[in-house]
A and B are shown apart, each in its own frame.
Chain A
Amino acid sequence: MPLTPPAEPDPEPKMNWASFYAVISGVNRHSTGIGRIWLSVLFIFRILVLVVAAESVWGDEKSGFTCNTQQPGCNSVCYDHFFPISHIRLWALQLILVSTPALLVAMHVAHRRHVDKRIYKLSGRTNPKDLEQIKSQKMKITGALWWTYVISLFFRVIFEVTFMYLFYMIYPGYKMIRLVKCDSYPCPNTVDCFVSRPTEKTVFTVFMLAVSGVCILLNIAEVVFLVGKACSKHLHDAGDTSMGAWIQQKLRLL
């Protein structure tokens, strides 16, 4: 997946999102198909949009916030009152927190590989080719890894929903207003303060919200897929038993 950041004077932050991408996409090999789609949506429609577009929209959020007064300090205080934390920082934190459960899965896979290596060594198979094969083998999502994976999906959904709720609490209605009225000290009276680029900010907020919703749906679909796969595997294995055969018969009638 090519990520080509535009030419900007300060490459450091982009280098970090790029190295973050390198870390997270390593998990990709052990994901389901839906998991890979989720990761692509995350990187293309959220991180890339954040870095390439949203950051410039919010770039002048403080310098462009003007109040109808010359009282020194009134601008700062009113800005702080209406924007306790900027959208950009909230989205950056959301993206970091939402991506980290995938590392749980990566750690579990690394642990399993370590255990497999030990078993190989104990059984006398110390051929470096075998050990290399363990490294490149794709882990099947079964047993304890299945549980780790499903738990990580739940955490992703919980983090997404929490941040959507936080957004709603801090910025009710997801709409950016043009004008706010402020009377905190040292503003001499109720002053009008004007937010910069409110419409563009509303557009991006709604876009990021929509993509966040899509990611939640993908995660839920993945949970349903994994549960369905585990159930069908369980039924297939239990096909010999009378109970399993009875259930299979009933399902065929549906």
Chain B
Amino acid sequence: MSWPALYAQLVGANRHSTSLGKIWLSVLFIFRVMVLMVAAETVWGDEQSDFVCNTLQPGCENVCYDQFFPVSHIRLWCLQLVFVAAPTLLVSMYVAYRNHGDKKKLLQISSRTGFLSSKSPEEELEALKRRRLPITGPLWWTYFISVVAKLLIEVGFMYALYVVYDGFQMPRLVQCDQWPCPNLVDCFISRPTEKTIFTVFMATASSICMVLNGAELAYLVTKAITR
């Protein structure tokens, strides 16, 4: 299971999304997953090995690193992307359930009446699988709930990142006096500017996704009202 496999799953669910949903998926995969995999992972690659403290005391670097980086940015972003992609699978599950129900009905009708329409049963079943369901009724509610969930998850993770790292900026120097450090030691973080740039980039991409989700909610609500 990897990012391309997740992409394959989500693209399948994409057929029943609105246009905003499709744009959201592209932004997610190109500006967030791709950038994470291709660029950000190398920037954070040496975060612990290059975390250097001004002391020879064994264990001090480990302890200070652990104090200032309880969860790495990369792991937080990976979790965020996995959780944000999950509600879309709700929609695919509902569509699969609907298709299963309709398939059963179709088989019952064709066996009961014994009258074959112009198409054979296999063709009808294939058409059923390929059709695009309109976003009405229970599908509308499922879709609406999935978009609300995505929005809440995005907000939750952005807030968590902001709270754990006290803002989006990475400092060059942190001062640490945890045991076994002998006194207040200076510890230096590797590539702080590059990390700040990527943190701001990912936060911006996350905000764009939130705006798209908000717009999608507004669109769904207006569509339901006008109907």
The answer to whether the Cβ of B225 comes within 8 Å of any Cβ in the partner chain is: no
Q: Would you call B194 and A73 a contact (CB within 8 A)?
A: no
Q: Would you call A92 and B39 a contact (CB within 8 A)?
A: yes
Q: Would you call A72 and B52 a contact (CB within 8 A)?
A: yes
Q: Chain A 61-104 against B: per-residue CB contact (8 Å), 1 yes, 0 no?
A: 01100000001110111011001111011001100100010010
The answer to whether A15 and B38 touch (CB under 8 A), given A80-B172, A89-B43, A186-B54, is no
* Stretch of A16-24, A194-202, A239-247 contacting B (4+ beta carbons < 8 Å): A16-24
Q: Would you call B194 and A85 a contact (CB within 8 A)?
A: yes
Q: Would you call B35 and A73 a contact (CB within 8 A)?
A: no
The answer to whether A80 and B34 touch (CB under 8 A), given A72-B52, A89-B42, is no
The answer to whether the Cβ of B181 comes within 8 Å of any Cβ in the partner chain is: no
The answer to whether the Cβ of B124 comes within 8 Å of any Cβ in the partner chain is: no
Q: Would you call B197 and A85 a contact (CB within 8 A)?
A: yes
The answer to whether the Cβ of A13 comes within 8 Å of any Cβ in the partner chain is: yes
Chain A interface mostly helix, strand, loop or mixed? helix
Closest-CB distance, A18 to chain B (whole angstroms): 9
Closest-CB distance, B63 to chain A (whole angstroms): 16
Residue of A nearest to B35 (CB): A96
The answer to whether A73 and B39 touch (CB under 8 A), given A16-B33, A16-B34, A20-B34, is no
Q: Chain B 184-227 against A: per-residue CB contact (8 Å), 1 yes, 0 no?
A: 00111111111001100100000000000000000000000000
The answer to whether A15 and B26 touch (CB under 8 A), given A62-B191, A72-B54, A80-B192, is no
Q: What's the interface size class on B, roughly?
A: 35 or more
The answer to whether the Cβ of A237 comes within 8 Å of any Cβ in the partner chain is: no
Q: Would you call B30 and A79 a contact (CB within 8 A)?
A: no
Residue of B nearest to A103 (CB): B26
The answer to whether A73 and B173 touch (CB under 8 A), given A19-B4, A62-B46, A84-B193, is yes
The answer to whether the Cβ of A107 comes within 8 Å of any Cβ in the partner chain is: yes
The answer to whether the Cβ of A8 comes within 8 Å of any Cβ in the partner chain is: no
Q: Which of A143-197 contact B (CB under 8 A)?
A: 185-186
A112→B158 CA distance, assembly (Å): 37
A84→B187 CA distance, assembly (Å): 19
A140→B191 CA distance, assembly (Å): 48
Closest-CB distance, B84 to chain A (whole angstroms): 18
A123→B30 CA distance, assembly (Å): 38
List chain A residues, Cβ under 8 A from B38.
13, 16-17, 92, 96
Q: Would you call B7 and A84 a contact (CB within 8 A)?
A: no
Q: Chain A 105-141 against B: per-residue CB contact (8 Å), 1 yes, 0 no?
A: 0010001000000000000000000000000000000
A96→B34 CA distance, assembly (Å): 9
Q: Would you call A62 and B190 a contact (CB within 8 A)?
A: yes
Select which of A13, A62, A100 is within 8 A of B30 by beta carbon: A100
What would 21 A/B residue contacts be, using CB atoms closer than 8 Å?
Answer: A12-B3, A13-B41, A16-B34, A63-B46, A72-B52, A72-B188, A73-B52, A73-B186, A73-B187, A76-B188, A76-B189, A79-B191, A85-B193, A89-B43, A92-B35, A93-B35, A93-B39, A96-B30, A96-B38, A103-B26, A107-B22
4 further A-B contacts with Cβ under 8 Å, apart from A13-B37, A86-B43, are A73-B52, A86-B194, A92-B35, A186-B186
Q: Identify the A interface with B (CB < 8 A).
A: 12-13, 15-17, 19-20, 23, 62-63, 71-73, 75-77, 79-80, 83-86, 88-89, 92-93, 96, 100, 103, 107, 111, 185-186
